[in-house]
Structure 1
């Protein structure tokens, strides 16, 4: 009889200890999965919030939750008003998207941006207009004069503008390509002039 009472007391204590390691707050909030009855240090907060891993903190339902920080009307899964700061170790991901590293930190504390694509809204935002027949390509004399007066290429922001306002990456990439395409046209023009001079030179030999 004493053994039975001792076993029952130990069982009750074990349940209480286990229950103290999880926190469920909200209607239908609780554990889920094969280990839902033995979860450790797990919490589920909000309507129908479900947690299935140890040391996990789940906020709200998987389809309905909108968490707001600094505002009362969150519109997204996580909506933050104010400064959002992250503290990370060197050579560790600072930000992941779909389990892929997006931003990392190197040994010198500099951010590393992993491969990504930039999408443009329309074709006019790209630089291929340079190859259209009606494109007004400046003469090299005009380019030279502009550089002498402004100390930078036409249609490219100056160092002062970059420091004061910054640059949009999608815009500066298109502008740099524009200069490459213009340079290609100048090279083609010069090659035509060289070929013409060669022909004239050969006639006089």
Structure 2
């Protein structure tokens, strides 16, 4: 009896309950599977769903181990906006299980945007990561600027590829293949569009948007390829004349093998394009070279003729047959000239011929084996000097001898000094001159000092003679009377 009563109460509760949360019809004219979400208990009046509620989830589960059931994939739907009578906005999120658990893989928003790798798509199809397709893609491709601060809809505009007839494009030469593909690039912003045409036997063509109009284009220009360029190995190409501009390339007179560069001296084809050069020289110029600006060379320079119009700075060695400097020449290292050097005049028969003034900031040595040990000497000459005039500036000159307080030594003092020292007072002794040389200026000063002292003694002696003569005359006069 109690068992039947229990079944009756259970049946009555089911009959009085609201509709079930799911129902399905897998056969008939309209099979469907529906999930019905409401809030509150089944035994009272249900409450409507709200934004953020999950309407339902489909899960695919599997038994991993005894007592452990895991979800491998899910599809769920979430309400994305506030609900209102007749309005329910929701999305659909697809998950798959990785080693760390379920991860959102794809979303279809309430507005129909599809996101792969992102739950906030901004486009009909928005992918985060690489995309690969084996089929055709129809339409235009927009490129994002890719800046960290740029929004996903910040474009550098678009690029699109179309098949076109070259005759319809205008400006392209006729070809056995009339059709081709044209790639149009529109960077956007303050830029010009550009097109690239391919598809014939005449290589690649490109043109730019004409600045004068949005839908007008400049003339087509051919892009040079390997079929347009031919020449001998290691020769640098040049644009060939005639005309103010040219897209034809040919051989030049510059040889570059990766280690050496040679300018000039290249024989015309079909001879080998290997001019004469020394492998130790990085740069070889076969002919004259003119430099109108500044040139700095840290290594060696070898030339048969070098003409420098302004400045030449050489930190290494320079060997030339003829060196002409019109203005300035600066040598930071050593300079060696095997011939004659004329400064301000040419030709010259002298080793060094200067027409004008010369300035030396350091010491000068002429014919001497070495400079004197004393750094105060600026000129060392290992031989004789002939001069019509020599000016020696000395301070002070010995006129101080005639001052009243000058300590003029007596002749007795001079005699005693000479007997003791074997030279006059204040005069450089012979032993010092033999070891250190003769200072002309100082010697001239000492000689003048001794001459002036001698004159003082002569003047004093003259006065004494006059006194003696007067006394002698007085004695003679007295004797006569």
Alignment of 1:40-189 (within 5 A): 43-44=306-307, 47-48=310-311, 57-58=323-324, 61-62=327-328, 65-68=329-332, 84=365, 110-114=383-387, 115-120=389-394, 122=395, 124=396, 126-189=397-460
Aligned positions, number: 142
After TM superposition, what 4+ stretches of structure 1 lie above 6 angstroms from structure 2? 19-23
What is the aligned-residue RMSD (CA, Å)?
4.1
Any conservation in 1 of the 2:367–2:383 contact (CA below 8 Å)? no
Shift of 1:172: 1.1
Which one has a larger percent strand, Structure 1 or Structure 2? Answer: 2
Deviation of the 1:84 alpha carbon: 5.0
Q: For residues 161 and 23 of structure 1, do their structure 2 counterparts lie closer, same or farther at Cα, with a shift above 3 Å needed?
A: farther
Match of 1:198 among 460, 469, 478: 469
Q: Which runs of 5+ in 1 are unaligned?
A: 1-18, 30-40, 50-54, 71-75, 88-108
Deviations 1:108-150 (CA, angstroms, capped at 9, x unpaired): x952331221123x3x2x1111111110000000000000011
Give the superposition deviation at 1:79. Answer: 6.2
- CA separation of 1:84/1:139 partners in 2, compared to 1, >3 Å: closer, same or farther? closer
Q: 1:129 to 1:189 in 2, by over 3 A?
A: same
Q: Which has the higher contact order (CA 8 A, sep 6+)?
A: 1
Give the Cα separation in 2 of the matches to 1:47 and 1:86: 34
Structure 1 length normalisation: TM-score? 0.54
CA distance in 2: counterparts of 1:47 and 1:58, whole angstroms: 11
Name the structure with the higher helix share. 1
User: How much does 1:45 deviate?
Assistant: 5.1
Task: Please list the CA deviations of residues 161-198 of structure 1 after superposition, one character each: whole Å capped at 9, or x if unmatched.
Answer: 11122232211111111111111111101100000000
Aligned: 1:27 with 2:296? no
Go from structure 1 to structure 2 and tell me whether the alpha carbon gap of 1:47 and 1:145 turns closer, same or farther (over 3 Å shift).
same
